[in-house]
Chain A
């Protein structure tokens, strides 16, 4: 029997849902829940305005077709599926592509300062894996602008009173309560295994608390910090998703890690140089002479090798990221044709990304934000000198497994409690921490979209789930929460008592070096064996960490020890999945298995956590059954390819990514402007 009131329990408690993570996916989930009348507790490791979504630069895809090129959501879906090398379930991608124009209009209504055409319409630019102008943008800080827009709407809900069904204000209760600087530790599950809340830690006072929630949605981002230096924010350790996985959630396609072709090396991180630079006409090249000593700007045109344009005339510099990264790696690592450094006498792992031929006005209006990053951090002027860049770990296509409910027209049934549901009842996931929208390789400017769409789907799914619950989490015996809290407190106290000789940051450095070198662009089984042995070693060493700081305020060292453990667990999922998958697909490339093998590997990798002594282990399944509102739902690793039949990717040919693109290409000039 469903609850009498969806807002307050019989004992008068406000029935809140917990959202963990305040990036785009989390904030959009909150907005949708509030609109459905469901009050929310929002937890975030950092003030939500400082979430990693701010780092997205280039834009958000939506086939609005304002340039009259013949673009449509159908083409967007086809190109996303094709770019992802057919590993994504197609109905969620289809739902996302069709929702995209509405999402961009919504963001515009929220006040995002999108760039405009002379007529006052939204301007769109090109991005990778398509020939169409499909990417709306706000300068080159689009992620920041989108995050702020959603943040502002959520802040508005912090001032809105909770009302019961009759419209009576419940005093002292606001629709959103924020818990910023809180670290997610674990889900709380009742005697039936249903998620009824979370345990979290205040990272300022180090206090650990249990919180009740009718449902929990994780929107906690990717695990890029597993690789040490990446384009990710330092908070992206994947700790929350890892904790959920350790609590029994299935993790899918973990081995698919996107390496972005263009980033600038730094001592602390790799800073992204957006794909929009190539979308606006930036060109990638190396000098033809590998011993070229002149500065980039002084090398004449005919002595430059535009290797992406040469090899992929169809898409040129805008081939998808997996391909571009492999080509850069090939050029620098195997052919040793990276930019020659006269000081070291070596060819560095760097190529040129050149915008110096583009009009200055265009650069200032459309790319200033990203060129500013290059200026500040590389201390060179990108307006007059070609930038020096190299690939960097950027995004995880894999993440927590989530279900979807396919509609009759091949999209998602919005409002179905199955959408974005993990296999743990009451635990949902949205954004980069889940796996649903990008298959084996994500197209540029689809991440902001998938985060927002994921939230738009998760919100109604959770609201419907909550409305159909037979027992409120708030009626669950408090001992369940006390026990969960005590278990996490004991783990934390254990960390504070660690008195070994290892430094957690150094173990991380070791892990990251190995993961970065041996588990990214090119993967070899014999080397992956060593990566797994390294993870064994690091897990062993983790137990011998010495914690010097036992302080009660902002104890980042102890917190990092916990995150490190969770990173090691995810590292194994990535490396083991990479080792098992003997084929090449999207971002996962094995020189010994160069082809895609649909017969054996057109399937979702589904991983479950296990332990063997002090080490973690990964257990793989081909199907699972999960409980939801009294039903048992069966899901398998078979990929839903009901909309577009898999075919080999051929970016050498213009328009290969979709039938419509090919037709459009043959009769107008959309292609290759940048190439």
Chain B
């Protein structure tokens, strides 16, 4: 029969970008296959703290709940990850309290919501796209080996969630470092047979301040990436490409 257990959540709340933060604690009834999202959903239905105070429901961002959209990223027990795949039984096997806090490297919006629009703007900077002639029919695309697909597919699973930026010590208020995810996208597009034709444009966007050379090689990114994207390899590859372009690029002009 169903166990009568409760789960305690300690949540860092903040009403708006300029308000002060505060911790609030909630108890919610345990359910099978429970994740952090379902615990937050229970709080929506009954937003009362452990002190018996009725508060506003906690705000958080979410969409797919399958760890493919990247929306519900937050800091859970000190580690940045998606809250949909954060299973309660694994986080709190013996009823330990679970702490939830917003990511710290992005402008704050409310409660667990932050504004990650810089990541999408960065994709513009590095021209993370194929320069398509048009969407009219032009026959099949270039042939690619299965090996190339096996190299590019993992890179193409980046969901712009922000975990790698959150964990990176080089991404902070004092630095302009673009971060691992955009660099890895440059590697991806530079591997595509037509993407290659514009590799230089992407590399040049990553040279200079805030570019690939700002990586401090802490390797935290690859540790926290939920899709296990080889981000450190990507940085090394792209770094090699930029060095080569810096040294020999002028010869080609």
Also in contact, A47 and B120, with CB within 8 A (given A102-B137, A268-B35): yes
In the complex, what distance in Å separates the CA atom of A116 from the CA atom of B44? 46
Mask, A537-570, CB within 8 Å of B = 1, is 0000000000011011111110000000000000
CB-CB under 8 A for A553 and B16, given A105-B140, A267-B33: yes
Chain A: which residue is nearest B86 at the CB level? A376
Q: Which of B144-152, B171-179, B213-221, B239-247 touches A?
A: B144-152
Whether A109 touches B130, Cβ cut-off 8 Å, given contacts A265-B33, A557-B56, is yes
**What is the minimal beta-carbon distance from B14 to any residue of chain A, in angstroms?**
9
Of chain A, the residue at the smallest CB distance from B193 is A111
| Interface pair A115/B194, CB less than 8 Å apart | no
User: Is B15 an interface position by the 8 A CB rule?
Assistant: yes
B57 partner residues in chain A, CB cutoff 8 A: 548-549, 556-557
Q: Once the chains are docked, how many angstroms separate the CA of A119 from the CA of B38?
A: 46
Chain A, range 374-424, C-beta contacts under 8 Å to B: 376-379
The answer to whether A267 and B38 have CB atoms under 8 Å apart is yes
Q: A145-B156, A456-B135 are in contact. Are A153 and B67 (CB under 8 A)?
A: no
Report whether A54 and B68 are in contact in the complex, using a CB–CB cutoff of 8 Å: yes
Segment touching B, from A155-163, A479-487, A517-525: A155-163
Chain B 105-129, CB within 8 Å of chain A: the 1/0 string? 0000111010111001001100111
Instruction: Say yes or no for A113: interface residue by CB 8 A criterion.
Output: yes
**How close is B87's CB to chain A, nearest CB, in angstroms?**
7
Complex alpha-carbon distance, A119 and B144, angstroms: 8
Q: Mark A425-459, 1 if CB is under 8 A from B, else 0.
A: 00000000000000000000000000000001000
State the CA gap A35–B135 with chains docked (Å).
8
The answer to whether A49 touches B160, judged by C-beta atoms less than 8 angstroms apart, is yes
**A551 vs B156: C-alpha distance when bound (angstroms):** 38
A373 to B67, CA, bound (A): 8
Determine whether A32 belongs to the interface, using a CB cutoff of 8 Å to chain B.
yes
Q: Does B222 contact A (CB under 8 A)?
A: no
Question: What residue in chain A is nearest B62 (Cβ atoms)?
Answer: A234
CA of A55 to CA of B68, assembled, Å: 7
**Roughly how many angstroms separate A554 CA and B84 CA in the complex, as a whole number?**
20
- In the complex where A373-B67, A548-B47 touch, is A152 in contact with B32 (Cβ < 8 A)? no
Chain A residues in 8 Å Cβ range of B87: 376-377, 379
Q: Which of A54, A108, A376, A551 contacts B69 (CB 8 A)?
A: A54
| B93 part of interface (Cβ distance < 8 Å) | no
Nearest residue in A to B145 (C-beta to C-beta)?
A: A120
Rounded to whole Å, the gap between the CB of A137 and the closest CB of chain B is 11
Would you call A581 an interface residue if the criterion is a C-beta within 8 Å of the partner chain's C-beta atoms? no
Chain A 51-67, CB-CB to B under 8 Å as 1, else 0, gives: 11011000000000000
Closest-by-CB residue of A relative to B87 is A379
How far apart sit A268 and B28, CA to CA, in the bound complex (Å)?
14
Q: Could you give, for residues 35-59 of chain A, a 1 whenever the CB lies within 8 Å of some chain B CB and a 0 otherwise?
A: 1000000000011011110110000
Contacts A554-B110, A554-B113 given; indicate if A266 touches B124 (C-beta within 8 A): no
Residue B237 at the chain A interface, CB threshold 8 Å: no
Q: Kindly state the separation between the CA atoms of A208 and B143 in the bound complex, as whole angstroms.
A: 49
| Contact of B54 with A by CB under 8 A | yes
By beta carbon, the residue of chain B nearest A234 is B62
A46 CB contacts on chain B under 8 angstroms: 61, 63, 69, 71
In contact, A138 and B156 (Cβ under 8 angstroms): yes
How long is the Cα–Cα vector from A159 to B67 in the complex, in angstroms? 29
What residue in chain B is nearest A547 (Cβ atoms)? B56
Q: Is A1 an interface residue (CB 8 A)?
A: no
A233 touches B110 (CB 8 A): no
In the assembled complex, A106 has its CB within 8 A of some CB on chain B: yes
List 21 contacting pairs A-B, 8 Å CB cutoff, sorted by A: A32-B135, A49-B160, A105-B139, A109-B130, A113-B149, A116-B144, A116-B146, A139-B157, A152-B123, A233-B64, A233-B69, A268-B35, A268-B41, A376-B67, A379-B89, A548-B54, A551-B15, A553-B109, A554-B110, A554-B111, A557-B44
Using a CB–CB cutoff of 8 Å, the interface residues on chain A facing chain B are 28, 31-32, 35, 46-47, 49-52, 54-55, 102, 105-106, 108-122, 138-139, 141, 144-145, 148, 152-153, 155-156, 158-159, 180, 204, 233-235, 265-269, 271-272, 344, 365, 369, 373, 376-379, 456, 503, 505-506, 509, 548-549, 551-557
